[in-house]
Structure 1
């Protein structure tokens, strides 16, 4: 029965890699008991692939009648570990492959020649060779039929050697253990070099003597019992720098190493190279006909990868202590910087921890935990404990944000405009309402003055005093000629409560001003107070006025004469200032003066006192999170 080879090629090898040409030829050579193999590539230049020819030779048993019969019939294999399709890959890239083989038959050396192309139907030519003394095969690949080569490594000797050595590692290692030999040589001859890509005429070779001695570990894992087969791990760790050696993490299928790339994206010391090979009879034949896809269910493959990865992690940690030490340092550094994620950073890793990836993993765990708790219909004791620690993590995350604001305040200097400080407390031209308190938590930083001001009803930033008055009364004649820097209405909702509210007014002065300019903050506070006295005590039950300035020695001396210093990490002065209302307000309230609470604090006091409170909160949260992480 004949078959359309072109259709067969496209069906079984729709998107193969070029290097599969070499692996199929080497598999045939090893099956034929070859001990020597050579690959010689000739090409004018990389961008002229049509000029390429490849000559592959080996000293194996040659194409005997039995071997040729199998070659001439697709999927006619000698055992289940062979697929009987590999030679089709040759026709994916080359239109013509000339075969010359010498084999021994009835004590005679026979030369068998045939042309393998899309029209191949088993024709061959046999001749007795009187002068021959050894068997072998000679393959000549001509008429490259693809548009272009995809990668320089496809035809660079060193890269080809590395690929074949890693791909056939299980089989080559078995040959070495049995006392056998195998030598491989690859050469490239080109007319136009490209040294930057290492694309130059060159020769590379490999011998079984170069294979390292692999250590063996029998894997014991309850999950592996499900596969009803023994699994063992062969591994090697090279502590000498070897640029050409590549890390290998593969499973063995039909004497071939199928790469899983478990060390990709892992930060490993450049001074070490690693080989890890997972072997089990269970894995034999678990690959498709083209040897491109592993035939395991997603659950099976995920389980094997996870167990394999954990074993690799343990071996590397034990074999390279410096990695473990570095990882401990990294975890400690991340826990200090992100205490709300403490205990969520990866504990087991292959190689050096990647900080960005570790933070991402911890955040995903954090969000997953939140989701589980929020979706729980009832809270068990264990779930209740988890919910408490989750709340601590969320609050710690917010406290860390506060630290960022405090740090920005620390960095303010005389070159910065007043707006910078203003925006750090509350952005200018913003009005915030309590119903959006959660959404506004990262722009309203009233806690810098005192945490109690977080219970605001309304925050007005750089708005006319008319708007403030409108928030607490329906006065249609409210003046609008003043703009407090920041004003808070807090403690109760004016629309629902049956008693007056509290009001806080904050005035700011940029750093670097002189004594007289800084003193004007007192007059500004009095000015704002006069406008509000008309609504005291009917609508306003308490008023606090804050002036934030840079307190130099002269201003400090002036304040110490009349104002009371308060306990603070910086300079804070307090005074009940008697404020005389304007004629308009005097008519309403019927009194000549009212005492108003005023506080002047330095920039240092603003951030230092806030930092002190913040550190206390964060320390409590960190210790509770750390204790929970250690216990769980």
Structure 2
């Protein structure tokens, strides 16, 4: 070949694709006037050993064709680059070509061994025409010795995938052939080497498989896109509502631009309702589109291509809305569902208007934009008036996101409760993981959920989950030993001030008793609370100002009876059982009875239902308020 082929091929095809082999071979066959093309995929045990044979009944490698083939870049016409066959050698070490054809009433044949060293001028006798005893037009290309570039995916040698690829790639070519009344049949067959015999199957692709297109003119004039002022351009389209794919590789969506008899797909429609197939092909008889030398895309300025795609898309939107109204109604439903579940993303859901929305992708894209806005806000040092207004809006969304996290936590505990899960460890770890410690209002949104009891608990100075009394003393800056008794959850609220009283802390102790009806009666439960209070009594009033005890448990009928029958306990406003009581004790009575120091113990007993439903009610109020605010602002 009159070029340094071995050096040029990697330059011409920097991003080769194995499918280019089928594309170039079929295009060459169609250009040679073939109406019968056979593609034989010879599969071996290893994908890397696969070989191809492509046979057609076109005009063959006559002298004119051979002359063009021998010179890299020699074009037959405006549609051709004279470079396509180079891709063969990106994958195979040699292509054996055998061609029989008729010229001036005589049948001739020519054999070619196409390799990196192919150079007809150096050995012209190797490629000269010879008389043929076979009187039939037939050209065979045998692709041998897969090298360098590998077949990365087994679908590239799957007959169904190859058929689907060729259908999409040659929509424009077959549209023209069908208009001329010419029937072309492509047979794709694989031959799988088995242990004892050869197993094969085949599929066909013919002109009759291609749809009869409707057409619509598209205006690309006056946009300074082409040298031709008013190019005659139209959209070939087909919309089917009873489509059933033959196999998993068959495409239900094809949006493409026709270039040099081939289709170059552009991503405009992503998803359709079941049963629909759409094909939109931007087509011009005036050859206004050109492809790159390696056929990897359109040879056009990116800005111009973007404008063309935008115009193409606008036409498709109108046509899809007209022909498939289901998309618009389904998309509205999807947006409503996302807004309800993720109100903090309201206003970030970008409408494309031409595709059935993929909910997960829509949410991911909106989340990306939302997080970008949050970061931009946090990076600002000083806020202008407009930035301050925007900060308020973003803050509302951040708070809404947090409230939604709370909804998830409530739902999880609710499920555990309804399923009768009595494992205290499961419940404990949802509220706050065992052994966790948080200091100075450190908020771990995914872990620390003590707001379930009361939102003001989130203003803590220390939270201890299943930590010993000894650790609790340390959080109070007291180095005494204490003991190894472990409250389920301890919360310390420090007070800053000058007086000794204001320097002491308030403490909340929470015990989780499981959901089964508690068997102990009221006096025993109260005694347990007072015993725990006595352990902490040595800290009064220097370190601890006051302690509140919460017991979350399943209330038995006898326990409820005791609570309702006593004047010492008061039912709180709640969706279920929620009681408040007080007890007093004298920790130093035995030491100095005359100067006894009475300590008041405040405690609450509540059911899991009260915990869940009350938290749910508070959260719903916040969420509704924030959702309304965000919706109003957007």
- What is the CA-CA distance between 1:620 and the residue it aligns to? 0.7
TM-score (norm 1): 0.81
| 1:240 match | 242
The 3 A distance-change label for structure 1 pair 270 and 217 is: farther
Q: Does the 8 A contact of 1:45 with 1:193 survive in 2? A: no
CA separation in 1, counterparts of 2:547 and 2:617?
Answer: 25
| 1:430 match | 436
Q: CA offsets per residue over residues 223-246 of structure 1, 9 Å max, x none?
A: x65678767543222223242453
Q: Quick one: which of 579, 596, 602 aligns to 1:597?
A: 602
| 2:207 match | 207
Q: CA offsets per residue over residues 234-259 of structure 1, 9 Å max, x none?
A: 32222232424533222222232123
| 2:170 match | 168
| 1:184 match | 185
CA separation in 2, counterparts of 1:497 and 1:399?
Answer: 38
The 3 A distance-change label for structure 1 pair 144 and 5 is: same
Q: Does the 8 A contact of 1:157 with 1:187 survive in 2? A: yes
The 3 A distance-change label for structure 1 pair 531 and 325 is: same
The 3 A distance-change label for structure 1 pair 234 and 553 is: same
Q: CA offsets per residue over residues 293-347 of structure 1, 9 Å max, x none?
A: 5445666656655665565455434422223333333332222222222332342
CA separation in 2, counterparts of 1:91 and 1:125?
Answer: 22
Q: Does the 8 A contact of 1:181 with 1:208 survive in 2? A: no
- What is the CA-CA distance between 1:600 and the residue it aligns to? 2.0
| 1:484 match | 487
Q: Does 1:250 align with 2:251?
A: no
Q: Does 1:566 align with 2:572?
A: yes
| 2:377 match | 373
Moved more, 47-56 or 615-624: 47-56
| 1:40 match | 38
1:220-239 aligned at under 5 Å gives the runs: 232-239=234-241
Q: Does 1:444 align with 2:442?
A: no
Q: CA offsets per residue over residues 576-602 of structure 1, 9 Å max, x none?
A: 323222447868x93353443332222
Structure 2 SS opposite 1:241? coil
Q: Does the 8 A contact of 1:335 with 1:341 survive in 2? A: yes
The 3 A distance-change label for structure 1 pair 335 and 320 is: same
- What is the CA-CA distance between 1:613 and the residue it aligns to? 0.7
- What is the CA-CA distance between 1:367 and the residue it aligns to? 0.5
CA separation in 1, counterparts of 2:523 and 2:101?
Answer: 104
The 3 A distance-change label for structure 1 pair 512 and 523 is: same
Structure 1 unpaired stretches of 5+? none
CA separation in 1, counterparts of 2:30 and 2:474?
Answer: 92
Moved more, 17-26 or 394-403: 17-26
CA separation in 2, counterparts of 1:461 and 1:227?
Answer: 71
Q: Does 1:401 align with 2:397?
A: no
Structure 2 SS opposite 1:236? strand
| 1:610 match | 615
Q: CA RMSD in A?
A: 4.2
| 1:387 match | 391
CA separation in 2, counterparts of 1:538 and 1:191?
Answer: 87
The 3 A distance-change label for structure 1 pair 590 and 301 is: farther
CA separation in 1, counterparts of 2:436 and 2:23?
Answer: 69
- What is the CA-CA distance between 1:371 and the residue it aligns to? 1.8
Q: Does 1:624 align with 2:598?
A: no
- What is the CA-CA distance between 1:161 and the residue it aligns to? 5.0
CA separation in 2, counterparts of 1:156 and 1:610?
Answer: 57
Q: Does the 8 A contact of 2:110 with 2:129 survive in 1? A: no
Q: Does the 8 A contact of 1:156 with 1:188 survive in 2? A: no
Q: Quick one: which of 494, 505, 515 aligns to 1:511?
A: 515
